[in-house]
Amino acid sequence: MDVTEPVFEHRAECAKVSRVLSRIGDKWSVLVIMLLRRQPQRFNELKRGIGNISQRMLTLTLRNLERDGLVSRTVTPSIPPRVDYALTQLGHSLAEPVQALGAWAFDHLDLIDAAQTRYDASADR
């Protein structure tokens, strides 16, 4: 990155934090984390729990979460095979602020909807 020192010196940290946050915001990760928060689950349990995610995206999401050390993957080589996913300790510690943010979102859904409606109405046509 050619970040040419914009204004504050803590830019580099911001960039890193931003990278972490973009993982959280990638549409599926949060849902997976919330589902795993209650208990470990198998691949297709997660798939059904989320409902409209494609197999491909669930795989990718889980791989990324595993790579970040947030989710553990344990394979039981039986027939048929069994794979369990669970939050790591790191994953659980992340789940807390995520939960807080989710709670905020939930609490303010109607305010946001109202604001959007208002905005769209005033932006006539």
Partner DNA sequence: CCGTATCCGGGCCGATACTG
Partner DNA sequence: CAGTATCGGCCCGGATACGG
List interacting residues with a second copy (CB under 8 A).
1-4, 6-8, 11, 13-14, 16-18, 20-22, 24-27, 30-31, 34, 48-52, 66-70, 90, 93-94, 96-98, 100-106, 108-109, 111-112, 114-116, 118-120
> Binding to DNA by residue 125, rule CB under 7 A?
no
The secondary structure element, H or E, covering residue 82 is strand 82-87
User: How many other C-beta atoms lie within 10 A of the C-beta of residue 85?
Assistant: 22
- The structure tokens 């039981």 sit at 76
Parallel, antiparallel or unpaired: strands 41-42 and 71-76 = unpaired
Of 77 and 111, which CB lies nearer to DNA in the complex structure?
Answer: 77
- The reply to whether 26 sits near DNA by the rule CB under 7 A is yes
57 binds, among DNA, a second copy, none (CB under 5 to 8 A by kind): DNA
Which residues, including other chains, have CB under 8 Å from residue 75's CB and lie 6 or more apart?
Answer: 81, 82, 83
- Number of Cβ within 10 Å of residue 31's Cβ equals 17
Sole binder of DNA in the list 30, 53, 70, 87 (CB under 7 A) = 53
C-beta of 56 vs 78, nearer to a second copy? 56
Question: 73, 71, 82: which is closest to 29 by C-alpha?
Answer: 71
| Contact set with DNA (CB under 7 A) | 26-27, 42-45, 53-57, 59, 62-63, 73, 75, 80-83
